[in-house]
């Protein structure tokens, strides 16, 4: 991953849940950097979400403090005090206001944060701060992830090279309602706060808000976008600036890679599934149908079994809540194979062809509604034995 001028990352072992594992990360931003974020819409949000929102409204952040192994959610007033105590300790080390530190946590819900362990490990994470710390940080924010998740790209804008790099974590409890479990993206382009927020929302809407593993929206979701201004490209301050679209495209590219990596690493997942719904009257009805398919346990288990039981997909479409849907106008494809036409099985469909598609590791479900021009695309995965095992044993 390409370093981003103006960003340093340090990772340490605090022993929050497991001894001798990387579980604490500091991201340091150079003065002049701008930061924005979107957070979970789950009303039962974690203490660090509450504190981070408050700090972000008060001042320009200089440091992000991330721990894994404990979500600090469902901990009430004590949880907020614990999150603040960790921010205060880092602020002492960094000689900055407490409000300049944004806390983020992920892990087990309802257990008190190991404040003493985090505070004791902060000097080591501080000493480890380096521009090339992205890969270690990607490891340091993992929970049930089986692999670290990072993405990076560069783009030429007006002859200047601009970098966008990001990391994320997530494998289960994934149905973002703003972002993903945790994601941190930085660019060395210079944007003002308002435009940076516009850029982040555009990227999130197209990527992190289009993935689902199990339909559960986490209490701790947060996605942060940082602009350091460390490149030679002059600042961008207007959305109609011709230099802005290629930057948004680069941010979206990184976010899409991170979002898809989460689905591919879905707990126990063996198949990566793209769901496309086209020809709707509005995007919202396309999304209703796409998520009805993606969240159906019967559909997800059929894909795990590589069983071309496409009647389960049709059943999900029919119960999606689009009440005036004309089933006879609908067509359904798995990759290049047409399964359904005019409300029934396509005359050319053969079971062996359906089986050949279902045996693939990456499959696209395409639903054509033929009632308008709206369309959408989301990504999901299958549901396996391992998903049950991993979540049943999560606290043991």
Q: Supply the pLDDT for residue 216.
A: 60
What is the pLDDT at residue 175? 60
- The pLDDT of residue 45: 86
The DSSP H or E segment spanning 11 is: strand 7-12
Residue 363, φ and ψ in degrees, nearest 5: -135, 140
Burial class (CB in 10 A: 0-12, 13-18, 19+), 377: middle
Full DSSP string of 148-196: -EEEEEEEEETTEEEEEEEEEE-SSS---SSS-SEEEEEESS-B-HHHH
Note down pLDDT in tens along the chain; length 396 residues.
999 999 999 999 999 988 888 999 999 999 999 999 999 877 888 999 999 999 999 999 999 999 999 999 999 999 999 999 999 999 999 999 999 999 999 988 889 999 999 999 999 999 999 999 999 999 999 987 888 999 999 999 999 999 999 999 876 555 655 444 689 999 999 999 999 999 999 999 999 989 887 666 667 788 999 999 999 999 999 999 999 999 999 999 999 999 999 888 877 789 999 999 999 999 999 999 999 999 999 999 999 999 999 999 999 999 999 989 998 999 999 999 999 998 889 999 999 999 999 999 999 999 999 999 999 999 999 988 887 887 777 666
Looking at residue 374, the DSSP 8-state letter turns out to be E
Prediction pTM value: 0.91
Would you say 195 and 189 are in contact if contact means Cβ atoms under 8 Å apart? no
What DSSP string runs through 362-373? EEEEEEE--SSS
Alpha-carbon Rg of the chain, whole angstroms?
A: 22
Domain residue ranges of the chain, discontinuous segments joined by +: 7-264, 272-392
Residue 178: its pLDDT value, please? 45
The residues that are catalytic are 180
Q: How far is C-alpha 119 from the chain's CA centre?
A: 27
Residue 196 pLDDT? 96
Residue 229: CB atoms within 10 Å: 18
In this structure, which CATH number among 3.10.129.10, 3.40.50.1700, 2.40.33.10, 3.10.20.340 belongs to the domain 272-392? 3.10.20.340
Contact present, 261 and 37 (Cβ < 8 Å): no
What CATH code is assigned to 7-264? 3.60.70.12
């Amino acid at each position: 991953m390409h370093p981003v001028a103006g960003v340093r990352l340090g990772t340490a072992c605090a022993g929050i849940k497991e001894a001798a594992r990387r579980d604490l990360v500091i991201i340091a931003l150079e003065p002049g950097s701008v930061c924005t974020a979107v957070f979970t819409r789950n009303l039962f949000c974690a203490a660090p979400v509450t504190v981070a929102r408050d700090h972000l409204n008060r001042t320009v952040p200089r440091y992000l403090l991330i721990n894994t192994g404990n979500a600090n959610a469902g901990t009430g007033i004590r949880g907020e005090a614990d999150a603040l105590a960790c921010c205060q300790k880092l602020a002492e080390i960094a000689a900055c206001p407490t409000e300049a530190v944004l806390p983020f946590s992920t892990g087990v819900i309802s257990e008190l944060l190991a404040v003493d362990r985090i505070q004791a490990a902060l000097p080591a994470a501080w000493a480890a701060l380096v521009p090339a710390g992205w890969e270690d940080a990607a490891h340091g924010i993992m929970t049930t992830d089986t692999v670290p998740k990072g993405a990076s790209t560069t783009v030429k804008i007006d002859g200047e090279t601009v970098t966008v790099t990001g990391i994320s974590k997530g494998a289960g409890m994934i149905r973002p309602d703003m972002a993903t479990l945790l994601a941190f993206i930085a660019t060395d382009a210079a944007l003002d706060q308002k435009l940076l927020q516009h850029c982040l929302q555009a990227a999130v809407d197209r990527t992190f808000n289009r993935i689902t593993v199990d339909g559960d929206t986490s209490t701790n979701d947060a996605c942060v976008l940082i602009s350091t201004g460390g490149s030679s490209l002059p600042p961008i301050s207007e959305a109609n600036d011709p230099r802005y679209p290629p930057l948004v495209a680069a941010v979206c590219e990184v976010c899409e890679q991170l979002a898809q990596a989460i689905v591919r690493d879905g707990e126990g997942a063996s198949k990566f599934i793209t769901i496309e719904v086209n020809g709707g009257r509005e995007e919202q009805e396309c999304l209703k149908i796409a998520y009805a398919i993606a969240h159906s346990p019967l559909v997800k288990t059929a894909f795990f079994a590589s069983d071309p039981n496409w009647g389960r997909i049709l059943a999900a479409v029919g119960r999606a809540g689009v009440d005036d849907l004309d089933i006879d106008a609908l067509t359904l494809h798995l990759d290049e194979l047409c399964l359904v036409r005019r409300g029934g099985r396509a005359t050319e469909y053969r079971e062996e062809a359906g089986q050949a598609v279902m045996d693939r590791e990456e499959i696209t479900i395409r639903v054509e509604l033929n009632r308008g021009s709206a369309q959408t695309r989301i990504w999901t995965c299958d549901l396996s034995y391992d998903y049950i095992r991993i979540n049943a044993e999560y606290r043991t």
